[in-house]
Copies of this chain bind each other. A is one copy, B any other.
Amino acid sequence: MDRRQKKTRQAVYDAFTRLLEKKSYSNITVQEIIDEADIGRSTFYTHFETKDELLRALCTEIFEHVFSEDLEKEQTHDFSHSGGALDSEITHILYHLQDSRRYIKGILSSESGELFMRFFKEYLERLFEGALSEKTSEIPREYLLNHMVCDFAETVRWWMRNDSYSPEEVSHFFLATTLSR
């Protein structure tokens, strides 16, 4: 890929996250992003059709990073039998998220958080599908999956607001209050 393109995209991502730390998503205009990134107007529009698409691209980039190694070995996941596998998996993801914390906090602190969470949950759904025990209970499986996914996503959101625990602790909180049924 052309060096100029990479530089432009990166400049936009950086500018965007910098702005997200200061003000909410809907109050950020395309022009502000352009000014902050110091690029030409038409350049922005050759890379991204809309502000929404920019957000989507940024989220994709973050999650690609966070889930990269975890989802490719999806097949081998079978959390229902091995006790600690899910725990270390989750801890691992939390470490990745901690690295991207600066970006993520800004995104989560406004309506853009909605989109971020939606993406996040998509990935989590794939991850947790194997963690649900097979035996059918009185509770619908679709409810349980949604429950786990949302619970974890909200745990992360809480953690991001609240930087006072380690990935290991948070993983423990989550598993202690959610699973085991």
- Residues of A bordering B, CB below 8 Å: 26, 110-115, 138-140, 142-144, 146-147, 150-151, 154-155, 158, 162, 173, 176-178, 181
Contacts and interface: CB of A to CB of B under 8 A. Distances in A.
Query: Sorted from nearest, which 5 A-B pairs have the closest CB atoms?
Result: A150-B154, A111-B111, A114-B114, A111-B114, A146-B158
A147 B110 CA distance: 20
A3 to B, nearest CB: 35
21 contacts: A26-B111, A111-B111, A111-B115, A113-B114, A138-B176, A139-B173, A139-B176, A142-B162, A143-B158, A143-B173, A143-B177, A146-B154, A146-B158, A147-B151, A147-B154, A150-B150, A150-B158, A151-B154, A176-B181, A177-B178, A177-B181
Contacts of A144: 177
Contacts of A147: 151, 154-155, 177
A26 to B, nearest CB: 8
A54 to B, nearest CB: 15
Given A146-B158, A147-B155, 18 more contacts: A110-B114, A111-B114, A111-B115, A113-B114, A138-B176, A139-B173, A139-B177, A143-B177, A146-B154, A147-B151, A147-B177, A150-B151, A150-B154, A151-B151, A151-B154, A176-B181, A177-B178, A177-B181
A144 B140 CA distance: 24
Nearest to A154: B150
A109 to B, nearest CB: 11
Contacts of A26: 111
